[in-house]
Chains A and B, each alone.
Chain A
Amino acid sequence: MLEQLIPEYILYWNAVGIPKFIRVFWYFVLFEFTRYIIIDYVVFAIFSLTKNRRNKCFAQARQALFNENPFVSVIIPGKNEGKHLFKLTKSLDEQTFSNFELIIVDDGSDDETPTIGKNLEQLGLIDKFIRNEMRGGKASAANLALRFSKGKYIVHLDADCSFDRDAIENVLIPFFMDSKIGAVGGNVKVRNYKDSLCAKLQAIEYLKTVSVGRIITSYLGIYKIISGAFGAFKKEAIDAIGGWDIGPGLDGDITVKIRKSGYKVYFEPSAICLTNAPSKFKVLTKQRLRWDKSIIRFRVRKHKDVYFPTANFNWATFFSLTENVFYNVVLDILWWIYIIDIIINYSGSLQFIIPMNFTLYFVMNYVQMSSISLFSERSKEERYLWKYVGLMTLYTGTYLRIVRTAAYYKEFFFKRSFEDPWNPYKSSIQAKRAGL
Chain B
Amino acid sequence: MFNVLRNSDSAKELVYQGVRLVLVRRVTELQQQWRDYNGLIIDTAIEHEAKAIVEAVRRAKGIESLIPLFINDIQDFPRELVCHTDGFIDTQHQENVAHKTIAINKRLAQIMVKDSSNFDEEIKYKTLGFIYSRNQIFAPFTSRVSRIGYHFPLLSLYYKNEEKTLLKILESLEKQGYIAKTFRDHIHLCKSCDSNYLNFKEICSSCKSADIQARDMIHHFVCAHVAPENDFKTEDGLSCPKCDKHLRHIGIDYDKPSSIFSCNSCANEFQNPEMQASCFDCDTDNTLSELLQKTIGDYSISAHGEQWLFDMQSPLKKQIETSEIDDGTIPISIFKVLLKQEVKRILTTGITSQFVTIQYENAQFKTLNETMQHALKTEIAEIIRSYLLPSDIMTVQDYNLFHIFIPDTKNPYPERIEHIDYNLNKLLNDNIKKEKSPITVTKTALNSNTKIDTLFNYKDLSQC
Among the stretches A151-159, A173-181, A239-247, A343-351, the one at the interface with B is: A239-247
User: Would you call A118 an interface residue if the criterion is a C-beta within 8 Å of the partner chain's C-beta atoms?
Assistant: yes
Q: Which residues of A contact B270 (CB under 8 A)?
A: 128
Q: CA of A426 to CA of B253 in the docked complex: distance in angstroms? A: 9
CB neighbors of A among B300-320 (8 A): none
User: Would you call A216 an interface residue if the criterion is a C-beta within 8 Å of the partner chain's C-beta atoms?
Assistant: no
Among the stretches B11-19, B70-78, B217-225, the one at the interface with A is: B217-225
User: Would you call A130 an interface residue if the criterion is a C-beta within 8 Å of the partner chain's C-beta atoms?
Assistant: yes
- Indicate whether A131 sits within 8 Å of B271 (C-beta atoms), given known contacts A243-B242, A426-B221: yes
- Indicate whether A427 sits within 8 Å of B221 (C-beta atoms), given known contacts A132-B258, A134-B255, A242-B242: yes
Count contacts on B: residues with CB < 8 A to the other chain. Answer: 25
Q: Which residues of A contact B255 (CB under 8 A)?
A: 134, 136, 426
User: Would you call A217 an interface residue if the criterion is a C-beta within 8 Å of the partner chain's C-beta atoms?
Assistant: no
User: Is A242 a contact partner of B217 (Cβ separation < 8 A)?
Assistant: no
CB neighbors of A among B253-284 (8 A): 253, 255-258, 260, 269-272
User: Is B253 a contact partner of A430 (Cβ separation < 8 A)?
Assistant: yes
User: Would you call A108 an interface residue if the criterion is a C-beta within 8 Å of the partner chain's C-beta atoms?
Assistant: yes
Q: Which residues of B contact A434 (CB under 8 A)?
A: 222
User: Is A132 a contact partner of B219 (Cβ separation < 8 A)?
Assistant: yes
CB neighbors of B among A88-132 (8 A): 108, 118, 121-122, 128-132
User: Is B224 a contact partner of A246 (Cβ separation < 8 A)?
Assistant: yes
User: Would you call B243 an interface residue if the criterion is a C-beta within 8 Å of the partner chain's C-beta atoms?
Assistant: yes
User: Is B271 a contact partner of A129 (Cβ separation < 8 A)?
Assistant: yes
Q: B271 is contacted by which of A130, A147, A426 (Cβ under 8 Å)?
A: A130
User: Would you call B226 an interface residue if the criterion is a C-beta within 8 Å of the partner chain's C-beta atoms?
Assistant: yes
Cβ of B65 to closest chain A Cβ, rounded Å: 52
B58-74: contact bitstring with A at CB < 8 Å (1 yes, 0 no)? 00000000000000000
User: Is B222 a contact partner of A427 (Cβ separation < 8 A)?
Assistant: yes
Q: CA of A38 to CA of B388 in the docked complex: distance in angstroms? A: 94
Cβ of B212 to closest chain A Cβ, rounded Å: 15
User: Would you call A436 an interface residue if the criterion is a C-beta within 8 Å of the partner chain's C-beta atoms?
Assistant: yes
- Indicate whether A245 sits within 8 Å of B224 (C-beta atoms), given known contacts A118-B272, A129-B271, A144-B217: yes
User: Is A130 a contact partner of B225 (Cβ separation < 8 A)?
Assistant: no
User: Is B257 a contact partner of A132 (Cβ separation < 8 A)?
Assistant: yes
User: Would you call A140 an interface residue if the criterion is a C-beta within 8 Å of the partner chain's C-beta atoms?
Assistant: yes
Closest residue of A by beta carbon distance from B272 = A118
- Indicate whether A134 sits within 8 Å of B225 (C-beta atoms), given known contacts A121-B272, A144-B217: no
Q: CA of A433 to CA of B223 in the docked complex: distance in angstroms? A: 12
User: Would you call A231 an interface residue if the criterion is a C-beta within 8 Å of the partner chain's C-beta atoms?
Assistant: no
The B contact surface, by secondary structure, is: loop
Cβ of B215 to closest chain A Cβ, rounded Å: 12
Q: B272 is contacted by which of A129, A132, A140, A426 (Cβ under 8 Å)?
A: A129
Q: CA of A139 to CA of B221 in the docked complex: distance in angstroms? A: 10
Q: CA of A242 to CA of B257 in the docked complex: distance in angstroms? A: 19
Closest residue of B by beta carbon distance from A138 = B224
Q: CA of A143 to CA of B271 in the docked complex: distance in angstroms? A: 16
User: Is A244 a contact partner of B224 (Cβ separation < 8 A)?
Assistant: yes
Q: Which residues of A contact B258 (CB under 8 A)?
A: 130-134
Cβ of B249 to closest chain A Cβ, rounded Å: 11
User: Is B226 a contact partner of A147 (Cβ separation < 8 A)?
Assistant: yes
User: Is A242 a contact partner of B225 (Cβ separation < 8 A)?
Assistant: yes
Q: Which residues of A contact B269 (CB under 8 A)?
A: 148
Cβ of B262 to closest chain A Cβ, rounded Å: 10
User: Would you call A431 an interface residue if the criterion is a C-beta within 8 Å of the partner chain's C-beta atoms?
Assistant: yes
Q: CA of A128 to CA of B222 in the docked complex: distance in angstroms? A: 26
Cβ of A114 to closest chain B Cβ, rounded Å: 10
User: Which of B224, B243, B260: most chain A CB closer than 10 A?
Assistant: B224
Q: Which residues of B contact A182 (CB under 8 A)?
A: none
Q: A246 is contacted by which of B223, B227, B253 (Cβ under 8 Å)?
A: B223
Q: B222 is contacted by which of A130, A133, A243, A431 (Cβ under 8 Å)?
A: A431
Q: A133 is contacted by which of B221, B251, B252, B257 (Cβ under 8 Å)?
A: B257
Q: Which residues of B contact A242 (CB under 8 A)?
A: 223, 225, 242-243
User: Would you call A82 an interface residue if the criterion is a C-beta within 8 Å of the partner chain's C-beta atoms?
Assistant: no
User: Would you call A185 an interface residue if the criterion is a C-beta within 8 Å of the partner chain's C-beta atoms?
Assistant: no
User: Would you call A137 an interface residue if the criterion is a C-beta within 8 Å of the partner chain's C-beta atoms?
Assistant: yes
Q: CA of A108 to CA of B242 in the docked complex: distance in angstroms? A: 23
Cβ of A115 to closest chain B Cβ, rounded Å: 11
Residues of A in contact with B, size category? 20 to 34
User: Is B272 a contact partner of A143 (Cβ separation < 8 A)?
Assistant: no
Closest residue of A by beta carbon distance from B255 = A134
Q: B224 is contacted by which of A118, A133, A134, A143 (Cβ under 8 Å)?
A: A143
User: Is B225 a contact partner of A143 (Cβ separation < 8 A)?
Assistant: yes
Q: Which residues of B contact A122 (CB under 8 A)?
A: 272
Q: CA of A140 to CA of B256 in the docked complex: distance in angstroms? A: 12
Q: CA of A384 to CA of B252 in the docked complex: distance in angstroms? A: 52
User: Is A108 a contact partner of B272 (Cβ separation < 8 A)?
Assistant: no
Cβ of B246 to closest chain A Cβ, rounded Å: 13
Closest residue of A by beta carbon distance from B219 = A136
User: Is B219 a contact partner of A140 (Cβ separation < 8 A)?
Assistant: yes
Q: Which residues of A contact B243 (CB under 8 A)?
A: 242
Closest residue of A by beta carbon distance from B231 = A147
Closest residue of A by beta carbon distance from B243 = A242
User: Is A147 a contact partner of B227 (Cβ separation < 8 A)?
Assistant: yes
Q: Which residues of B contact A147 (CB under 8 A)?
A: 226-228, 231
Q: B226 is contacted by which of A129, A131, A136 (Cβ under 8 Å)?
A: A136
User: Is B226 a contact partner of A143 (Cβ separation < 8 A)?
Assistant: yes
Q: Which residues of B contact A129 (CB under 8 A)?
A: 271-272
Cβ of A323 to closest chain B Cβ, rounded Å: 27
CB neighbors of A among B191-230 (8 A): 217, 219, 221-228
Q: Which residues of B contact A132 (CB under 8 A)?
A: 217, 219, 226, 257-258
Cβ of B229 to closest chain A Cβ, rounded Å: 12
Q: CA of A130 to CA of B261 in the docked complex: distance in angstroms? A: 11
Q: CA of A426 to CA of B271 in the docked complex: distance in angstroms? A: 24
Q: Which residues of A contact B257 (CB under 8 A)?
A: 108, 132-136, 140
Closest residue of B by beta carbon distance from A428 = B221
Cβ of B226 to closest chain A Cβ, rounded Å: 4
Q: CA of A431 to CA of B221 in the docked complex: distance in angstroms? A: 8
User: Is A137 a contact partner of B224 (Cβ separation < 8 A)?
Assistant: yes
Cβ of A210 to closest chain B Cβ, rounded Å: 25
Q: Which residues of A contact B222 (CB under 8 A)?
A: 246, 427, 430-431, 433-434, 436
Q: Which residues of A contact B221 (CB under 8 A)?
A: 136, 426-427, 430-431
Closest residue of A by beta carbon distance from B268 = A128
Closest residue of A by beta carbon distance from B240 = A242
Q: Which residues of B contact A245 (CB under 8 A)?
A: 223-224
User: Is A427 a contact partner of B271 (Cβ separation < 8 A)?
Assistant: no
Cβ of B258 to closest chain A Cβ, rounded Å: 5
Cβ of B235 to closest chain A Cβ, rounded Å: 22
Q: CA of A140 to CA of B227 in the docked complex: distance in angstroms? A: 9
Cβ of A109 to closest chain B Cβ, rounded Å: 12
B1-16: contact bitstring with A at CB < 8 Å (1 yes, 0 no)? 0000000000000000
Q: CA of A433 to CA of B221 in the docked complex: distance in angstroms? A: 11
Cβ of A154 to closest chain B Cβ, rounded Å: 15
- Indicate whether A144 sits within 8 Å of B223 (C-beta atoms), given known contacts A129-B271, A132-B258, A136-B257: no
Q: CA of A128 to CA of B272 in the docked complex: distance in angstroms? A: 9
Q: Which residues of B contact A108 (CB under 8 A)?
A: 257
Interface pairs A-B: 8 shortest CB-CB: A139-B224, A132-B257, A242-B242, A144-B226, A134-B257, A430-B222, A430-B221, A140-B224
Contacts A/B (CB < 8 Å), 18 sampled: A118-B272, A128-B271, A132-B257, A133-B257, A133-B258, A134-B256, A134-B257, A137-B224, A140-B257, A141-B226, A143-B227, A144-B226, A147-B231, A243-B224, A243-B225, A243-B242, A246-B224, A433-B222
Apart from A130-B271, A244-B224: 8 A-B pairs, beta carbons within 8 A: A128-B270, A136-B255, A143-B225, A147-B227, A242-B243, A246-B224, A436-B222, A436-B223
Binding site for B on A (CB under 8 A): 108, 118, 121-122, 128-137, 139-141, 143-144, 147-148, 242-246, 426-427, 430-431, 433-434, 436
Binding site for A on B (CB under 8 A): 217, 219, 221-228, 231, 242-243, 251-253, 255-258, 260, 269-272
